[in-house]
């Protein structure tokens, strides 16, 4: 007895769909069981570490970053109002200012400011020293140019006799 081909195809197709559905359910069930396992976190960490430290991923990321398309996208974001909106919103957050305050109080920042202040004070002192030595030299030259008055025998200036009183 011959079974007509179209009904046979429908039967095989339906059976294949049923097998596929059951296989999918079994695979998802196995995945659920695996995710619930106590070793899942360790397995995920090992896989992600392997993937994240792979040279292939590094080459892929470098290729994406160095691409002209990425450069065009960055330029477009910078030139759009999106960046301004992001910065405006960021400046409005209390968390940002708390972070800035914490950073400003850090020993590293305090030390850097102290060093910069000392450097600036040294520069100012050097400028003052240079200016004062220049002023000292100018005053000495000016003092040498001034003629000292000569005292005459009678105590008058200039050595000449005073005019007789009338």
Q: Do both 83 and 57 map to the same domain? A: yes
Whether residue 73 lies inside any domain: the answer is yes
Q: How far apart are CA 15 and CA 161, in angstroms?
A: 145
How many structural domains is the chain composed of?
A: 2
pTM above 0.85, yes or no: no
* Per-residue CA distances from 4 to 11, 17, 65 (Å): 11, 20, 59
Q: What is the mean pLDDT of the chain?
A: 78
For 158, residues 6+ apart whose C-beta sits below 8 A from its C-beta are: 149, 150, 152
The residue count for the chain: 166
Rounded mean pLDDT of 45-56? 86
Full domain range(s) for residue 50: 38-92
Whether residue 117 lies inside any domain: the answer is yes
Whether residue 100 lies inside any domain: the answer is no
pLDDT: which is higher, 11 or 141: 141
Q: Do both 86 and 52 map to the same domain? A: yes
Whether residue 83 lies inside any domain: the answer is yes
Whether residue 84 lies inside any domain: the answer is yes
Q: Do both 86 and 130 map to the same domain? A: no
58-114 pLDDT per residue, tens? 899 899 999 999 999 989 988 888 888 988 999 999 998 999 899 888 898 888 888
């Amino acid at each position: 007895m011959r079974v007509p081909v179209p009904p046979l195809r429908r039967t095989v197709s339906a059976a294949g769909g049923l097998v596929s559905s059951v296989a999918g359910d079994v695979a998802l069930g196995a995945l659920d069981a695996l995710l619930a396992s106590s070793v899942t976190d360790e397995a995920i960490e090992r896989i992600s570490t392997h993937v994240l430290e792979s040279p292939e991923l590094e080459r892929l990321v470098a290729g994406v970053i160095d691409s002209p398309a990425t450069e065009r996208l960055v330029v477009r974001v910078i030139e759009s109002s999106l960046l301004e909106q992001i910065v405006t919103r960021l400046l409005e957050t209390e968390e940002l200012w708390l972070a800035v305050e914490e950073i400003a109080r850090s020993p590293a920042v305090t030390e850097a400011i102290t060093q910069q202040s000392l450097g600036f004070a040294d520069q100012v002192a050097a400028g003052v020293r240079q200016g004062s030595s220049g002023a000292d030299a100018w005053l000495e030259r000016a003092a040498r140019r001034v003629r000292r008055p000569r005292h005459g025998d009678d105590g008058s200036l200039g050595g000449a006799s005073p005019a007789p009183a009338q």
